[in-house]
Amino acid sequence: MEKYLCCGNIMSDSVIKNNIASPLSMGGPGFFALTGVRIFEKSCTLVTRTGANYVDDYGKWLDRHSISHRGVDVNSEKVTYGHIVFRDKNNYTADYPMGVELVGYQMTHPEDIEKHADENTKGIYLFHYPDITVWKLMGAAARKKRFKIMWEIMPFLSADDLPKVQICCKNVDMFSINSKEASILYSISEEREEQIINELMKLPVEMTLYRVGNRGAYVITKDEVVYCKKINPKRAVDPTGCGNTSTGAAMWAHTEGYESAMVLAMANVAAGYNAAQYGAIPEITDDLMKKAYALAEKHCRRIKRRGRYTFK
Amino acid sequence: MAKYLACGNIMSDAIKSSDGTMSSFYMGGPAFFALQGIRLFTKDCKLVSRVGADYRDSYGKWMDLHGITQESVKVFADHCTRHIIEHHADGDYSSTSYFGSENMGFLKTHPDEVDSAVSSETRGIYFAHSQEKVIWKKLGDIKEKHGYKMMWELEPRVIKEDLEKVMQVISIPEMFSLNSIEASTLWGIPRDNDEDIINELMKLPVEMTLYRVGKRGAYAVTPSTAEFCPMIDISESVDPTGCGNTSTGAAMWAHTEGYDPRMVVIIANIAAGYNALQKGVYPHITDEVMADAVRLAERKCAEIFCG
């Protein structure tokens, strides 16, 4: 069975810019994270609940990449889809014509993950909100099956969620959050990065991927902070899913034991490949995998030359 | 294990009055109201639901008080779903989700939970769900394995285009329940035209449909008959939230037990009457309350159909 599980919703997105809507493209946090892992590692799979029509596109993508469908539970007729409207490069709103309730119905549960994880599983990605019950169940599953967990926090938080986030983090190994979410959670202005990062360093996790939108990302541990600006291997077209993609890649890289600079470089390279088109990366060839790895190595050297604790 | 299962969401409701004031949150949700409706007539029942950890403080205590096993109640989140309900003068209502509709979807019961909850003892189940083919195919397969009867209560907020989907799956359950707003929307027939709506309901490939007409009462409709029973007030009515779900749970039990349509609709309306006595569910269904409910059903049957 696969070493890495990407768990969470798949959902197709139409991105609306200047009142023009793109066609629906494959996406959703679980799927974007899968592409982020798959760009570096073939032993990965998706754990999701979705609609029967996933076979028309997501299913074909999985087949093209020799990824098993065993973690895909068809529980509805249709994959959910959303209209994403970017207000600026870093801020967006989303609406779901099939209803947000269906999005919830298709959310992955801890029991799904426990069912699909086995002795080969090294790391999992899960996109979820700060619910103590959910993360306790996840923590119990991780201890039983001995895998590491990357938690990418769902957006639309409030400062009231901070105590829950701190409790939930005790059950995970890695955490991923963006600057807007962190700003709300800690009631610190987004521009005050050092202050936010100081707070993130206190979380009881091994590593936090702190994403700062168009400017790139940081990897934060208890001992160090490293920064890397965004990496565009090709011209950027659409940032939808870059956070999920980079988080998937960071989960894999950290679990595999790479140093922080390389984790960060890989995360940003993955995000860069995601941004090159609407929707998820359409095909990850062996050649693309090699190029991605080489590009990450190059940027890793640059990050290390800049040194630690480097702010913008 | 239990003979009768009420499957679906539990959700706590606060009622917002026309003057803007809000009540506290009361226990509710389609499956819990249905459970109440069943429990009024039989102790051999249980809830199948995904819930929040805080269910123990209210729902859990109610089930303990009523000797109902919680073996099929699974804690999946911190909080039970909550809604703020506003009732309208035309009998319809609107609701706002307190923790978000995503949370409600996350806690919806899945067919595999029904599969885990049923046994060879199961005789009937209640399930409030949408008309998705994928879900009903799974429910149908589970039912075939175990041989029980199933009552489908249609989820609210249907649109005309849903009729085709309803017709694709309606042959799977044995019983169906919907209200006049839903029926009117699906078939494009005015709400007050009972006859034409009932004509359509009689064509459905189910043994019995509970057709609920709000404050007027309800019909038990079969392919050959339609028996009407007016609303039954046990005492002064306080809140109608959950009357549909409660009456449907009771009707499921009564039909499965073999009662004729007249008795089924009377039992359904009595259950609704008990539900309407307070906000939320009836606090304690004692043996005396159960005996009263049965006596009332027998008396009403004699009055309405034989008097």
Q: What is the pLDDT of residue A89?
A: 61
Strand partners, B243: none
pLDDT in tens, B60-109: 999 999 999 999 999 999 999 998 888 877 767 788 888 888 888 999 99
User: How far apart, in whole angstroms, are the C-alpha atoms of residue B254 and residue B267?
Assistant: 7
User: Is a pLDDT exceeding 70 seen at residue B307?
Assistant: no
Which token pair is B300? 């009403």
Contact of A264 with A247, CB cutoff 8 Å = no
Mark out chain B residues that contact chain A at CB-CB < 8 A: 52-53, 75-78, 100-108, 110-111, 132-135
Q: Which of A81-90, A134-143, A169-178 has the lowest mean pLDDT?
A: A81-90
Q: Is A199 helix (H, G, I), strand (E, B) or coil?
A: helix
Measured in angstroms, the CA of B183 and the nearest CA of chain A are apart by 22
Please report, rounded to a whole number, the percentage of residues in chain A having pLDDT higher than 70. Answer: 97
Measured in angstroms, the CA of B38 and the nearest CA of chain A are apart by 27
List of chain A residues whose C-beta atoms are within 8 Å of the C-beta of residue B110: 75
Provide the total of helices (H) and of strands (E) in chain A, helices listed first.
Answer: 11, 13
User: Is a pLDDT exceeding 60 seen at residue B252?
Assistant: yes
User: How far apart, in whole angstroms, are the C-alpha atoms of residue B206 and residue A164?
Assistant: 48
Q: ipTM of the assembly?
A: 0.89
Q: What is the pLDDT of residue B125?
A: 98
Q: What is the pLDDT of residue B87?
A: 80
| Other beta carbons within 10 Å of A307 | 11
Q: What is the pLDDT of residue B15?
A: 85
Instruction: Please indicate whether, in this complex, the C-beta atoms of A104 and B132 are within 8 angstroms of each other.
Output: no
Instruction: Please indicate whether, in this complex, the C-beta atoms of A101 and B104 are within 8 angstroms of each other.
Output: yes
User: Is a pLDDT exceeding 80 seen at residue A88?
Assistant: no
List of chain B residues whose C-beta atoms are within 8 Å of the C-beta of residue A131: 77-78
Q: Which of A66-70, A91-95, B74-78, B252-256 has the lowest mean pLDDT?
A: A91-95
User: Is a pLDDT exceeding 70 seen at residue A73?
Assistant: yes
Measured in angstroms, the CA of A74 and the nearest CA of chain B are apart by 8
Q: Tell me the domain boundaries of chain B.
A: 4-306
Q: What is the pLDDT of residue A22?
A: 87
Q: Model confidence at A288, in pLDDT bands (50, 70, 90)?
A: very high
User: How far apart, in whole angstroms, are the C-alpha atoms of residue A218 and residue A209?
Assistant: 6
Alpha-carbon separation of residue A196 from A72, A183, A289 (angstroms): 37, 7, 33
Residue of A nearest to B104 (CA): A101
Across A19-28, A303-312, B268-277, which has the greatest mean pLDDT? Answer: B268-277
User: How far apart, in whole angstroms, are the C-alpha atoms of residue A176 and residue A157?
Assistant: 14
Task: Give the CATH superfamily of A4-306.
Answer: Ribokinase (3.40.1190.20)
In three-state form (DSSP H/G/I as H, E/B as E, the rest C), the secondary structure along chain B is CCCEEEECCCEEEEEECCCCCECCCECCCHHHHHHHHHHCCCCCEEEEEEEEHHHHHCHHHHHHHCCCCCCCEEEEECCCEEEEEEECCCCCEEEEECCCHHHHHHCCCCHHHHHHHCCCCCCEEEEEECCCHHHHHHHHHHHHHHCCEEEEEECCCCCCCHHHHHHHHCCCCCEEEEEHHHHHHHHCCCCCCHHHHHHHHHCCCCCEEEEECHHHEEEEECCCCEEEEECCCCCCCCCCCCHHHHHHHHHHHHHHCCCCHHHHHHHHHHHHHHHCCCCCCCCCCCHHHHHHHHHHHHHHHHHHHHC
Q: What is the pLDDT of residue A312?
A: 46
User: Is a pLDDT exceeding 90 seen at residue B122?
Assistant: yes
**A15–B contact, CB cutoff 8 A:** no
Q: Is A223 helix (H, G, I), strand (E, B) or coil?
A: coil
Q: What is the pLDDT of residue A16?
A: 86
Q: What is the pLDDT of residue B94?
A: 83
The answer to whether domain B4-306 has CATH 3.40.1190.20 is yes
Q: What is the pLDDT of residue A90?
A: 63
User: How far apart, in whole angstroms, are the C-alpha atoms of residue A209 and residue A178?
Assistant: 8
User: Is a pLDDT exceeding 70 seen at residue A153?
Assistant: yes
Report CA torsion sign: B292, B293, B294, B299.
Answer: positive
pLDDT in tens, A212-252: 999 999 999 998 999 999 999 999 999 999 999 999 999 99
Return the number of CB contacts < 8 Å for A and B: 59
Q: Model confidence at B156, in pLDDT bands (50, 70, 90)?
A: confident
Alpha-carbon separation of residue B26 from A20, B7, B58 (angstroms): 45, 19, 9
List of chain A residues whose C-beta atoms are within 8 Å of the C-beta of residue B107: 104
Residue of A nearest to B157 (CA): A99
Prediction pTM value: 0.92
- Residue among B101, B102, B136 with most chain A CBs within 10 A, to mutate: B102
Q: Tell me the domain boundaries of chain A.
A: 4-306
